[in-house]
Amino acid sequence: MVNLLVKTSNLVKDYVKPTRLRVLHGIDMELERGSFASLIGSSGSGKSTLLHLLGALDRPTEGEVIIDSVNVNQLTDDELSDFRNLKVGFIFQFHYLLPEFSVLENVLIPNLIHSDTEVPEVRQRATELLDYVGVGHILDKNAGNISGGEQQRTAIARAFINQPKLILADEPTGNLDSVNSDKVLDLLRKINNELGTTILLVTHDKTLAEKTDRIIEIKDGRIIADTIQNNKQSNFVTK
């Protein structure tokens, strides 16, 4: 029996400014729990828009997004915020660490948003996560004073601190050199394998996408291809 984490039905997104523009044309997509998939497409194909809808950052014009059995469309703004905080982890091309905080504090922020006060167990988990991603030696360094690779690793640790069901990685290696890109991708693969977290990687880099288990290709707001990689057992469903 297929164990779905994400399901979208007839997902449509229009932008009305400056002119009315349909960016997504009825996307139907499903992601199985524990899968590591990539979403590829050229610039303007609608992949980032789809990612924002899947991450509950935006609301669709039509259709619905169901994540972990929750219809995201029906949530209020506050509920959406809480949903993002607890169920989704984001990794962006630009790490967006808060330079006013240390590496460890940055990782703790999603949990502090939820619990308001620092929980010792979470602090321990954050330390372990930073060790896991290979930046455990710079816990107390200011996030603005570490290298790009270290910043992205810290951002990855931050995405996992609340143990979300889904990780959305938007061009996470787009700002890194090839060595660091490989390291980040290996790290995501390792996390997927060991923690079983569902990861959707958005990229325009086909070579990078080929390192994931499944490639969903989007063009002009429509899914045009959905491919399993490396002869892995199917962990996705297409319609």
- List residues bridging with 80 in a β-sheet: none
Q: How many CB atoms lie within 10 A of CB 137?
A: 11
**Measuring CA to CA, which residue among 39, 157, 164 is closest to residue 95?**
157
CA angle in degrees (0–180, nearest 5) for 83-87-90: 100
Select the span of 35-43, 76-84, 184-192, 193-201 touching another protein (CB under 8 A): 76-84
Q: Is 141 in the site for another protein (CB under 8 A)?
A: no
Choosing from 44, 99, 148, 196, the residue that interacts with another protein (CB under 8 A) is 99
Instruction: Rule CB under 8 A: choose which of 10, 14, 44, 100 binds another protein.
Output: 100
Window 33-62: residues binding another protein (CB under 8 A): 48, 52, 55, 57-58
Residue 96 touches another protein, criterion: CB under 8 A: yes
- The CA distance from 219 to 40, in Å, is 9
Per CB under 8 A, does 81 bind another protein?
Answer: yes
Q: Closest Cα to residue 216, out of 193, 197, 195, 235?
A: 235
Q: How far is the CB of 231 from another protein (least distance, A)?
A: 35
- Rule CB under 8 A: choose which of 19, 78, 121, 194 binds another protein: 78
Q: State the Cα–Cα distance between residues 14 and 25, nearest whole angstrom.
A: 9
Q: Which amino acid is it at 33?
A: R
Report the residue number, 175 or 229, with the smaller CB distance to another protein: 175
Count of residues that interact with another protein, criterion CB under 8 A: 31
Answer whether the bond into residue 18 is a cis peptide, omega within 30°: yes
**Closest distance to another protein from the beta carbon of 114 (Å):** 7
Task: Name the segment binding another protein (CB under 8 A); options: 16-24, 89-97, 121-129, 202-210.
Answer: 89-97
Report the alpha-carbon distance of residue 154 to residue 130 in Å, rounded. Answer: 7
- Which of 23, 31, 65, 90: binder of another protein (CB under 8 A)? 90
Q: Which of 28, 62, 68, 82 binds another protein (CB under 8 A)?
A: 82
Q: How do beta strands 214-219 and 222-228 pair?
A: antiparallel
Distance CA 238, CA 225 (A): 10
Residues that bind another protein (CB under 8 A): 48, 52, 55, 57-58, 77-78, 81-86, 90, 92-94, 96, 98-101, 109-110, 112-114, 116-117, 158, 170
